[in-house]
């Protein structure tokens, strides 16, 4: 389930909820505190769906109302149990407890206090509404506090997980996103989600820019909401997939959304301010919705990581976040399928951080204890699977002639997986990838380090390296801890294969002498 919601200010209703539904949003987030202050008992009488004129899912957020206001304006005049009852009585579908937001840059002491108080309120609120309403209540959201203190976030998550919330959320992430600290956001979400049950949805408040949706989804956020479309619009900003453009700097309306198609840039600039803002809100919503659909399509195709890599290159702060996410590949790996219907697209060393690649690299090292005596490292040939390449055929015949086939484990080295054993080269994903060549320096370095580690830990009696100068420098090749067969520009030339035959023959002679 990936369901975006968009925040609506119920006091002004500046964007008609019915239009949200037409654009494609089947859920919206509104503000319990402002509903209460503005409509009081009228919302209870009418029900929040009739009041707002929206038939989809309505999430009422004490976080974005009560708690958000605590962050901005200090204490608000509302009791946590009273606002919880109000959310039940107006018929919210999903409701947020009135938590105490840590704020992302708060001191440890303050963070500890906010965690304690939020957990206490969580317990008290859930017990209270269960006693009063039994099964007739909304789904409850439990925000995980702790701010930038990641150990606190992790322990707060475990404590909140003990309470029967239906949905969990990261507490007070808005400041982190407003400050472009997406790297910290990654750490906070990983810390929170590590302590939460993976079968419960996770909500990210305030995620409103399409450039970061794929990051949020890759992190395991199932729901997100934001008022960014309106905030940007009021500031005269037009959302794109990569950033925002001020309306006066727009030279083209490049977006294909219905709002952009029904007007021209000239007419748009002539519009009165209020209509201009409405146009921007409508376009911004379409831009968000379109990106959500693209992310969902990439998920369906097994290409979310590729989509994320493209988006991350739209802003250095997002690229930084992706680098941090790659360090947490084990967190992602748990739920990454072992087989996909699409191959991996490898752009550069950042692509090596994806869980499918790291999983293979780690598994090969762990499973490297081999029955065979000699490890032969060949460069990757062109054709995939590598064993179908005629160049490998020549090596296989050479080993058969020397009666070494039984003793030699052939592995191909390549800068994506480090190496590919010939015996499994048809297994996903060893042959199911496309990589940009020439490989980047970072990828080549990473492969050389990996090969040295593999040779050291694999326990073969001998390792033989048939070098390819386009993949390995002489210095790096020397550090791998293997016998080199020679140094030829083309590793598949007659001369280079002659060198390989000589090396293998002399190893065989050595072994026979040894016997």
Residue 89 or 241: the one with the smaller Cβ distance to Zn ion is 241
Residue 311 touches Zn ion, criterion: CB under 5 A: no
Q: Which of 61, 389, 407, 468 is catalytic?
A: 61
- Residue 4 pairs in a beta bridge with 224
Minimum CB separation of residue 246 from Zn ion in Å reads 15
Q: Tell me the window of 26-34, 278-286, 307-315, 427-435 that interacts with Zn ion (CB under 5 A).
A: 278-286
Three-class DSSP category at 420: strand
Q: Tell me the window of 2-10, 182-190, 254-262, 326-334 that interacts with Zn ion (CB under 5 A).
A: 254-262
Q: How far apart are CA 349 and CA 441, in angstroms?
A: 8
Q: Tell me the window of 190-198, 282-290, 314-322, 483-491 that interacts with Zn ion (CB under 5 A).
A: 282-290
Residue 233 or 500: the one with the smaller Cβ distance to Zn ion is 233
Contact 411, 446 (CB under 8 A): no
Minimum CB separation of residue 272 from Zn ion in Å reads 19
Closest CA to 454 of 428, 477, 481: 481
Q: How far apart are CA 322 and CA 305, in angstroms?
A: 10
Q: Give the phi and the psi of residue 169 in degrees, each rounded to 5.
A: -150, 160
Residue with tokens 């994903």: 429
Residue 100 or 260: the one with the smaller Cβ distance to Zn ion is 260
Closest CA to 288 of 502, 15, 488, 12: 15
Residue 216 touches Zn ion, criterion: CB under 5 A: no
Q: How far apart are CA 353 and CA 421, in angstroms?
A: 21
Active site (annotated) includes residue 166: no
Q: Which of 121, 283, 303, 384 binds Zn ion (CB under 5 A)?
A: 283
Q: How far apart are CA 494 and CA 432, in angstroms?
A: 30
* Positions of E strands within 127-206: 139-144, 167-170, 202-205
Size of the site for Zn ion (CB under 5 A): 4
For residue 504, how far is the Cα from the chain centroid? 46
Residue 62 or 240: the one with the smaller Cβ distance to Zn ion is 240
Q: Tell me the window of 27-35, 42-50, 279-287, 469-477 that interacts with Zn ion (CB under 5 A).
A: 279-287
Minimum CB separation of residue 143 from Zn ion in Å reads 33
Residue 255 touches Zn ion, criterion: CB under 5 A: yes
Q: Which of 44, 48, 260, 295 binds Zn ion (CB under 5 A)?
A: 260
Q: How far apart are CA 7 and CA 54, in angstroms?
A: 13
Residue 119 touches Zn ion, criterion: CB under 5 A: no
For residue 412, how far is the Cα from the chain centroid? 30
Minimum CB separation of residue 243 from Zn ion in Å reads 15
Minimum CB separation of residue 231 from Zn ion in Å reads 17
Residue 163 or 257: the one with the smaller Cβ distance to Zn ion is 257
Token readout for 133 is 């309403």
Residue 287 or 480: the one with the smaller Cβ distance to Zn ion is 287
Minimum CB separation of residue 24 from Zn ion in Å reads 13
Q: Give the phi and the psi of residue 312 in degrees, each rounded to 5.
A: -60, -25
Contact 452, 463 (CB under 8 A): no
Residue 237 touches Zn ion, criterion: CB under 5 A: no
Residue 253 or 427: the one with the smaller Cβ distance to Zn ion is 253
Residue 245 touches Zn ion, criterion: CB under 5 A: no
Residue 257 touches Zn ion, criterion: CB under 5 A: yes
Q: Tell me the window of 74-82, 187-195, 249-257, 312-320 that interacts with Zn ion (CB under 5 A).
A: 249-257
Sign, Cα dihedral of 115, 321, 430, 392: negative
Minimum CB separation of residue 14 from Zn ion in Å reads 18
Token readout for 164 is 């029967």
User: How far lies 120's CA from each of 94, 99, 123, 160, 201, in Å?
Assistant: 20, 9, 5, 10, 22
Would you name the residues annotated as active-site residues?
A: 61
* Residues contributing to the site for Zn ion (CB under 5 A): 255, 257, 260, 283
């Amino acid at each position: 389930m990936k369901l975006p919601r968009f925040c609506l200010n119920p006091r002004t209703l500046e964007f008609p909820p019915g239009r949200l539904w037409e654009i494609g949003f089947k859920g919206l987030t509104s503000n319990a505190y402002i509903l209460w202050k503005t409509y009081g008992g009228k919302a209870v009488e009418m029900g929040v769906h009739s009041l707002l004129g929206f038939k989809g899912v309505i999430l009422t957020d004490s976080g974005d109302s009560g708690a958000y206001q605590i962050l901005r304006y200090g204490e608000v005049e509302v009791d946590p149990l009273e606002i919880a009852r109000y959310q039940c009585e107006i018929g919210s579908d999903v409701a947020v407890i009135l938590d105490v937001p840590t704020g992302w840059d708060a001191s440890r002491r303050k963070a500890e206090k906010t965690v304690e108080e939020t957990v206490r309120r969580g317990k008290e609120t859930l017990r209270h509404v269960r006693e009063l309403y039994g099964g007739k209540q909304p789904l409850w959201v439990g925000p995980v506090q702790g701010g930038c203190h990641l150990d606190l976030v992790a322990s707060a998550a475990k404590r909140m997980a003990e309470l029967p919330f239906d949905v969990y959320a990261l507490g007070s992430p808005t400041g982190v996103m407003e400050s472009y600290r997406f790297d910290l956001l990654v750490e906070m979400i990983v810390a929170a989600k590590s302590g939460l049950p993976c079968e419960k949805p996770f909500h990210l408040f305030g995620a409103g820019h399409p450039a970061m949706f794929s990051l949020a989804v890759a992190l395991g956020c199932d729901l997100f909401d934001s008022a960014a479309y309106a905030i940007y619009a009021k500031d005269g900003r037009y959302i794109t997939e990569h950033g925002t453009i001020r309306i006066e700097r727009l030279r083209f309306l490049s977006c294909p959304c219905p709002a952009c198609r029904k007007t021209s840039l000239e007419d748009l600039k002539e519009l009165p301010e209020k209509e201009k803002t409405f146009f921007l809100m409508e376009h911004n919503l379409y831009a968000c919705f379109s990106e959500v659909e693209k992310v969902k399509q990439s998920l369906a195709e097994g290409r979310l990581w590729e989509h994320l890599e493209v988006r991350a290159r739209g802003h250095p702060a997002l690229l930084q976040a992706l680098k941090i996410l790659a360090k947490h590949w084990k967190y992602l790996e748990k739920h990454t399928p072992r087989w996909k219907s699409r191959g991996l697209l490898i752009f550069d060393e950042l692509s090596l951080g994806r869980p499918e690649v790291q999983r293979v690299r780690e598994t090969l090292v762990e499973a490297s204890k081999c029955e065979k005596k000699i490890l032969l490292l060949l460069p990757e040939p062109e054709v995939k699977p590598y064993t179908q390449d005629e160049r490998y055929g020549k090596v296989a015949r050479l080993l058969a002639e020397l009666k070494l086939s039984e003793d030699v484990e052939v592995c191909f080295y390549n800068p994506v997986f480090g190496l590919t054993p010939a015996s499994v080269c048809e297994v996903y994903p060893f042959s199911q990838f496309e990589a940009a060549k020439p490989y980047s320096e970072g990828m080549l370095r990473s492969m050389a380090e990996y090969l040295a580690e593999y040779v050291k830990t694999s326990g073969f009696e001998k390792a033989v390296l048939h070098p390819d100068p386009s993949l390995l420098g002489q210095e790096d090749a020397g550090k791998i801890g293997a016998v080199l067969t020679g140094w030829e520009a083309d590793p598949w030339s007659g001369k280079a294969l002659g060198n390989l035959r000589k090396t293998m023959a002399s190893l065989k002679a050595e072994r026979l002498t040894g016997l």
